[in-house]
Amino acid sequence: MTANKFKVLCGLLTGDCAAKDVSLAQWNLVVQQGRSTHVLSMLYYRLKQREQLLDVPKVVMWHLEAASIVSEKYLRDTRSEIKRFLPVFASLGVKFTLLKGAAYVISDKPCAKGRTFSDIDLLVPKENIDRLEAALQWHGWASSNQSAYDQRYYRDWMHEIPPLVHIKRHTVIDIHHTILPLTASLKPVASNLFAGLQEVEDGVWTLSDIDMLLHSATHLFMDTEFDHAFRDLLDFDGLIRDVLTREFDWQALLVRAREMDLIQPLYYALRYSRRMFNTPIPLDIVTSCEQEWAPMLTAGFMDVLFNRVIMPPHNSARLAGTALARKLLFIRGHYLRMPFGLLIRHLFHKAFISPNEKESSAA
């Protein structure tokens, strides 16, 4: 799957390629591709960990160091927000649980060094969301979406409430109560996620390692948009490599995926991570997933689509049919997230009613 044009970037990120073996012309492309997919700072820390920064040309180091400075700011801002959240959650008696990028960084996953993220994702039991939202309003957080339809869309059908924005710091948080929309065809049991939480710092919780893997796979392969697909798949690769540094039970991953109704996204994550990053995943584990789940569309057809959207969004990666692949996967994502009747109703509202509502509110 890995096109030759991305072989160097992927190899540098995973350690299959050494910095000293990369020509200046190849570095030029690596910097452009890495910046397009927001992994330059991750590349900096991975080369630093492997003690290869001295092998990087000075003209390239400037770009890597600049990216690392930005990622440090993200980390400082996130830790600052966490300190503000902790007393709020403690007063409510609710565990402060991070998801995705912030969770990887705060739990000090080696693969997350240099990871940046535009918002902070939280996981809260659904029955506590109203109390939490009310408490956060006292601390300057407000809903970013005032449309009555969108409020209903999030609160009745989705797995999260509308994003909240701090009125002064402009930080954005997404508060989830599970990891897939309530209307999705797959039905992971949210209470199982909370039962497996692990405390990574005093008062800060994340999903268990296995649930973190399943959520990473689900977030990428059940979504409708793939702008960050390359980085998200790199996350999955890094999480796999991290659990393999300890004793890891592959069968336990399959059992949990089956229990959480997430075999489908796990299969795709295992398949494409192995193909893109040479992730050390046993082939029989991928085969087991494939045998348990009978896809409507063949793996070959899905390869044609996913090969096009997982690549970094850079001109050097653009294959013929990329735009069509994105549209087809956009439709697929919505189909997986909503039953057909509700989907038609939602699309009709977005196409014909929402634009008029925006014009009315602007007037």
Question: CA nearest 174: which of 218, 217, 117?
Answer: 117
Over the chain (363 residues), what is each successive 10-residue block's mean pLDDT? Answer: 74 95 95 93 96 96 96 91 94 95 91 88 96 94 83 90 93 95 93 95 96 96 90 96 94 96 95 94 93 80 91 82 92 88 83 70 56
Q: Is 227 helix (H, G, I), strand (E, B) or coil?
A: coil
Give dist(CA 218, CA 191) in Å, integer. Answer: 17
Contact 221, 262 (CB under 8 A): no
CA distance 275 to 292: 20
Identify the pLDDT of residue 253.
97
pLDDT at 353: 79
Whole-model pTM: value is: 0.91
Backbone angles phi, psi at 123, to 5 degrees: -125, 125
Give the C-alpha separation, 208 to 55, whole Å.
37
Alpha-carbon distance of 41 to 70, in angstroms, equals 8
